[in-house]
Structure 1
Amino acid sequence: MFDIVYLLEMIGIIAFAISGMIVARAKNMDPVGVFTIGFITAMGGGTLRDLILDNHPVYWIQHQEMPLLILLLSVVFSYWNRVDRIRAARIVIPDAIGLGVFSILGAQLALDLGHSLFIAALLGVMTGTFGGALRDTMCNEVPQIFRKDQIYASISFVGCWLYFLCVWLLDSQAISLTIGLVFIAVVRILAVRFDIRLQRDASPH
């Protein structure tokens, strides 16, 4: 089970880091900026979660290979010319993958530390969304979690509860993890593709 979780963590970190680096390149940042935005996108949510749960040392200090991986990715994104062809709109897929992975893993860590399902779901949402919120704020954009034209945090919240339900019904954490994170990632992508929103502007009279 540890190997599966570690693999998912790496996938989530790579996905979120890439989403941050795409935005950083679109904003014409230098290599330091590309690394910084990639790092805070990938590690921001997990760091907030660990601080709230008093879980020390925080994840990226325990796993120094992850910041090194982000550093290598930032070098590629800074000096590989083809990256310039990637539009900022393309962050949807890696961002959705990161949202799914970190929402579920954040919720599970909270459960492992003895917290209730509701608190675990909230911490899952924080883990999955905070890094992206920092990315957007530092890139002078309205965070996706606060945009009226986005359905984002609610997908994470529902996905966490689906994960809890699957654990109870299937008695398999690995399968439940997969179902929960795939649900969040796929629904997020579909919501963007088909412009699904929680609220729409009232039609003018």
Structure 2
Amino acid sequence: MFDIVYLLEMLGIIAFAISGMIVARAKNMDPVGVFTIGFITALGGGTLRDLILDNHPVYWIKHQEQPVLILVMAILFSYWKHADRLRTSQIVIPDAVGLGVFSILGAQLALDLGHSWLIASFLGVMTGTFGGALRDTLCNEVPQIFRKDQVYASVSFAGCWLYFFCQSLLGNEALPLTIGVAFIAIVRILAVRYDIRLQRDANHQ
């Protein structure tokens, strides 16, 4: 049976792992470092979500193919001869996809466990942003969620609420999930592309 949730989860893991590995390589990390940063970026948010919701075992222990996939990706990425050409600015698309996927899946799980829309949206944002925050912190960067020049957590929050409304109106699992993920990813990419911010300094007026 086609499982849209599992498919999206794997897409998010691949996207976030790629973003973490690009940053790790830009910081001249060895294969162990590349795997570690990729793993934390891809699975950190979902792990925090499961711990808060007391949802055990956490999802990547239940699905061991996920850390195995990240390990294989890290090995291939570490020995890819063009990896050193990649720059941290190139993580925008995979990071946006990962943000969209895990924000919506985190919110959906919270709803499935009986929590309100408000609590589900907070958990969605946490799931979508925590892995990237850990990635940036470990790589000695200011996490994107805390940067004044970034539209990040706000996009995740808005996308979760769009998902809730679409789900209540459409009553279909796949379409609301797709709409929510696409909204977050596209708005995030456009915000970076066109320098859209929630707040601007005087010198950016």
TM-score over 0.5 for the pair? yes
2:111 aligns with 111
| 2:181 is the counterpart of 1:200 | no
Runs of 4+ off more than 6 Å: none
Unaligned runs of 5+ in 2: none
What is the deviation of 1:2?
6.3
Comparing 1-10 with 162-171, greater Cα deviation is found at 1-10
> The residue matched to 1:191 in structure 2 has which SS?
helix
1:50 aligns with 50
1:15 aligns with 15
2:133 aligns with 133
Aligned equivalents of 1:101, 1:119: Cα separation in 2: 18
Comparing 101-110 with 84-93, greater Cα deviation is found at 84-93
What is the deviation of 1:88?
1.3
Aligned equivalents of 2:122, 2:5: Cα separation in 1: 20
Unaligned runs of 5+ in 1: none
> The residue matched to 1:172 in structure 2 has which SS?
coil
CA deviation vs aligned residue, 1:35-86 (integer Å, no higher than 9, x gap): 0000000000000000000000001110110000000000011111112222
1:41 aligns with 41
Aligned 1:1-205 pairs, distance under 5 A: 3-202=3-202
Question: Aligned partner of 1:34: which letter?
Answer: V
What is the deviation of 1:3?
1.2
Aligned equivalents of 2:90, 2:54: Cα separation in 1: 35
Q: Identity of aligned pairs, percent?
A: 80
Aligned equivalents of 1:87, 1:77: Cα separation in 2: 14
Comparing 21-30 with 193-202, greater Cα deviation is found at 193-202
TM-score under structure 2 normalisation?
0.97
Question: Aligned partner of 1:56: which letter?
Answer: H
Aligned equivalents of 1:60, 1:168: Cα separation in 2: 29
CA deviation vs aligned residue, 1:154-202 (integer Å, no higher than 9, x gap): 0000000000010111111110000000000000000000010000113
